Amino acid sequence: MPKMTLEKTKQLISQKVGLTIIIILALASGLAILWYMNSIVIMENTPSPLKKPVTTGDITESTNPLSLRLALIRLNVQQSLDPKITALNQKINTVVSDKGSVVDVLVTPEYSFTSTLQNQYPEYALDFSCDENFNNCTVSSAGGTYSETVLETVNSLTLIASSNQFYIFLGTVIERFDTAGNPEITDPYVYFNDLVIINPQGQLSLKRKTNGDWESDCAWGSNCHYAIEQEALSTVRSFNIINRFSESITSFPIICGERFHQPMLDYALNLGLADLDILIGPEREGDTPYEEITEAIQNGTWTEEMFGWDWGIEDGFIQTYIGSGLLRPNAYLAVAEGGTATAGLINLVTPPAPVTEYEQNSNYMFGLVQYCEDGTIEEQCAETKPKYCQEHQLINNCEECGCPSGQICRPDGSCKKTTNKYKVPTN
């Protein structure tokens, strides 16, 4: 009997030890699964590390996700400087009051700070001193009739940009360029029509218009003319914007009529620029109905046959910029149009997706252009069902986006596999 009791005791101990090991292993597996699932959640909700801004002509890559809020000033630039500056300040102050804590980029139209006549450029000119990449510029009056007024306005807008932590794309300011370092240019000065960019730290960068819109006595097509063009082309580059989520968006600044200037496009491509996120352009020509197209996209009345889409957007921007690879396939165009006091915020795909947070009034057009991390546009279905882009995050939304073949929609938005017993609905 004692021997039997001992054997049973050994068996009982062995069974309990085995059961304990199984329980421990099960708990460990459960903890591992929980840790793995938690790590997935963390990865899905933590933005990927992104590059810090480098405002140079170096090769840059577009980044995902993209989220950018823009305010495009609606201003008639075909008026004298004083009323134009008064109106501009009022409109910018309205943006600051309405959207100052959320807007990332504010854009003014071409010729906001100058006459539209080239022979009058010297009256509005400023002197710029920048680093080799045309950043960190200091600015002073060039002694023109209106130079001090322009300088005061630029300085005040620099304070607005830094105090509210957004970028301002100033279209456009006249730069007096001293040609002493370029013997091929026979004029002592050339007056360039510049896009000046103010960053949230109050630092200035410039980008010159490249298609001949400068004041000079050099004959068109002469060696002097081409030397001036090279000085303008040397400022062509991408410009990185850091939004309020500390994400990097790569823009390509353009100025009105140069947007289809082949030497400018070739120069950008030769730099290795590719897959950029957004074109930002001050304009004045009024040849494309950007605002009408934007409104049609927003209210659902857009058609491919609408006036201005084929030659203004599709043939020009989509084929020229996306077709060349300079822009990413689902890029955006932001335009402040001074000839008609209008604006445009357009997704450069066919059919185009609307922007979110859209608002338009007499002072500005405002909107949010946004992608999720895979490049899916805000409030659109991803290529991978049932994913949907909502508030910068990919979520399951099978009711809106459908399910992969062989799966059915669940109430929580996800999909689950089904058996052959039931007919699978198609979406």
pLDDT value at residue 35: 39
Mean pLDDT lowest among 8-22, 61-75, 221-235? 8-22
Say yes or no: 322 and 390 in one domain. no
pLDDT averaged over every residue in the chain: 86
Say yes or no: 76 and 106 in one domain. yes
The predicted model gives 367-386 an average pLDDT of: 86
pLDDT value at residue 243: 95
Higher pLDDT, 32 or 290: 290
Residue 156 counted as domain residue: yes
CA quadruple 384, 389, 395, 397: dihedral positive or negative?
A: negative
* 17 pLDDT higher than 60: no
Residue 80 counted as domain residue: yes
- DSSP for residue 133: T
Query: Which of these three, 370, 396, 417, is where a domain ends?
Result: 370
Say yes or no: 403 and 265 in one domain. no
The domain that contains 343 carries what CATH number? Answer: 3.60.110.10
Say yes or no: 279 and 408 in one domain. no
Ranges 108-112, 372-376, 394-398, most confident: 108-112
Burial of 201 (0-12, 13-18, 19+ CB in 10 A): exposed
Q: Are 115 and 125 in contact (CB under 8 A)?
A: no
Strand bridging mode 393-396 / 126-129? unpaired
Q: Are 336 and 363 in contact (CB under 8 A)?
A: no
Higher pLDDT, 376 or 339: 339
The predicted model gives 31-44 an average pLDDT of: 34
Q: Are 119 and 181 in contact (CB under 8 A)?
A: no
Residue whose C-alpha is closest to residue 104's, from 315, 306, 246, 256: 246
* 7 pLDDT higher than 50: no
Quickly state the pLDDT bin for 98 (edges 50, 70, 90). very high
pLDDT value at residue 426: 59
Residue whose C-alpha is closest to residue 195's, from 211, 178, 210, 173: 173
Say yes or no: 364 and 414 in one domain. no
Positions of E strands within 220-355: 239-242, 248-253, 276-283, 327-337, 342-347
The predicted model gives 229-236 an average pLDDT of: 98
Say yes or no: 307 and 362 in one domain. yes
- Summarize pLDDT for 261-274 with one digit per residue, the tens: 999 999 999 999 99
The predicted model gives 6-14 an average pLDDT of: 46
Residue 15 counted as domain residue: no
Query: Which of these three, 346, 370, 394, is where a domain ends?
Result: 370
DSSP-based three-state secondary structure for 52: coil
Element spanning 71, H or E: strand 67-73
Quickly state the pLDDT bin for 63 (edges 50, 70, 90). very low
pLDDT value at residue 372: 80
pTM of the predicted protein model: 0.79
pLDDT value at residue 59: 29
Mean pLDDT lowest among 229-238, 247-256, 370-379, 414-423? 414-423
* 12 pLDDT higher than 80: no
Residue 187 counted as domain residue: yes
Higher pLDDT, 383 or 367: 367
* 123 pLDDT higher than 60: yes
Strand bridging mode 105-107 / 67-73? parallel
pLDDT value at residue 8: 47
pLDDT value at residue 379: 85
Max CA-CA distance within the chain? 122
Token pair, residue 252, equals: 């390509």
* 110 pLDDT higher than 60: yes
The predicted model gives 159-178 an average pLDDT of: 98
Q: Are 69 and 367 in contact (CB under 8 A)?
A: yes
pLDDT value at residue 145: 98
d(CA 12, CA 4): 12
Say yes or no: 206 and 339 in one domain. yes
pLDDT value at residue 20: 52
- DSSP for residue 381: B
State percent of the chain over pLDDT 70: 83
pLDDT value at residue 392: 77
Positions of E strands within 304-376: 327-337, 342-347, 356-360, 364-370
d(CA 370, CA 417): 32
Residue 2 counted as domain residue: no
Say yes or no: 401 and 360 in one domain. no
* 332 pLDDT higher than 90: yes
The predicted model gives 220-245 an average pLDDT of: 96
pLDDT value at residue 136: 98
pLDDT value at residue 15: 52
Say yes or no: 299 and 226 in one domain. yes
**How many domains, in total, are found in the chain?**
2
Residue 3 counted as domain residue: no
Residue 7 counted as domain residue: no
Pure H helices in 137-195: 147-164
* 50 pLDDT higher than 60: no
* 344 pLDDT higher than 50: yes
Say yes or no: 90 and 210 in one domain. yes
Quickly state the pLDDT bin for 306 (edges 50, 70, 90). very high
pLDDT value at residue 62: 38
Quickly state the pLDDT bin for 424 (edges 50, 70, 90). low
The predicted model gives 200-218 an average pLDDT of: 97
Token pair, residue 143, equals: 């002694």
Say yes or no: 276 and 209 in one domain. yes
Quickly state the pLDDT bin for 106 (edges 50, 70, 90). very high
* 28 pLDDT higher than 70: no
d(CA 249, CA 269): 18
d(CA 38, CA 319): 44
Query: Which of these three, 370, 391, 409, is where a domain ends?
Result: 370
Say yes or no: 395 and 289 in one domain. no
Residue 8 counted as domain residue: no
Domain that holds residue 401: 381-427
